[in-house]
Amino acid sequence: MAASSAAAPRATTARPLPRLLYASFEARVAAAAIDALVLFIIAALLIIAGALNILISSDFERVNASGTSINLFWAMVGATPPAFLLYFFAGMAVWGQTAGAAVMRVMIVRSDGRPLGVFGALARVIAMLLYVLLIGLGAVGAYALRDDPALAALALGLSLVVSVAGILWAAVDSHRRTLHDRLAGTIVVQAG
């Protein structure tokens, strides 16, 4: 009898998840504004480093800058978008928040309240890129329809409206989720 009871699976009791307090729309906007400032600083540092390299290479404009220094400048400009993605990915994967979210005391977690982790952060960054894709498609559509200014404006305007609506969705959603939160399965909550 004892042998059969030992083989029976044990009943596990799931711990209830702590009550999550959703971050306010205002806190999310403020965190995004702080993140925009951080991204501006990252871009400025990369571009200034490339420009200083050109300036030093040209002996402070006494001679023409070398081709290598010009290529390095453009490499630094090209490194800006990957640096932005790395900023969001590393912050969310390691701490569950970016610098703006840390200042505003909010953090990103999975919809079930668990930490985001590497794959959750990757899914959220990819979902955030949806806005860039939509605006890019609008710009391509505007270029393709450039012979008719009204249609070109409509293509670009529609992509901007959809992108802004995806972000402003958080103002009316009961869980304060944006479109990229819904796609990635994340929520933004007050940090404890």
Domain that includes residue 75, residue range: 22-190
**How many residues are listed for the chain in this entry?**
192
Q: Is residue 110 part of a domain?
A: yes
Q: How much is the pLDDT for 19?
A: 75
Tokens of 23: 């971050």
- Dist. CA 169–CA 176, nearest whole Å: 8
What pLDDT sits at residue 38?
Answer: 97
- The pTM score is 0.80
Q: What is the pLDDT of residue 179?
A: 93
Kindly state whether residue 1 falls inside one of the protein's structural domains.
no
pLDDT at 20: 83
Report the half-sphere exposure of 5 (CA within 13 A, side-chain side): 2
Amino acid 60: pLDDT: 75
| Any domain includes 4 | no
Cα atoms in the 13 Å half-sphere on the side-chain side of 26: 0
Residue 108 lies in a domain: yes
pLDDT, residue 125, reads: 95
Considering its fold, how many domains does the chain have in total?
1
The three-state DSSP-derived secondary structure of the chain is: CHHHHHHCCCCCCCCCCCCCCECCHHHHHHHHHHHHHHHHHHHHHHHHHHHHHHHHHCCCCCCCCCHHHHHHHHHHHHCHHHHHHHHHHHHHHHHCCCHHHHHCCEEEEECCCCECHHHHHHHHHHHHHHHHHHHHHHHHHHHHCCCCHHHHHHHHHHHHHHHHHHHHHHHHCCCCCCHHHHHHCEEEEECC
Task: Per residue of the chain (192 residues), give pLDDT as tens.
Answer: 555 555 555 555 555 556 789 999 999 999 999 999 999 999 999 999 999 999 998 877 778 888 899 999 999 999 999 999 999 999 999 999 999 999 999 999 999 889 999 999 999 999 999 999 999 999 999 999 999 999 999 999 999 999 999 999 999 998 899 999 999 999 999 987
Is 2 part of a structural domain of the chain? no
Instruction: Confirm whether 11 is domain-assigned.
Output: no
Does 75 fall in a domain?
yes
Assess if residue 7 is contained within a domain. Answer: no
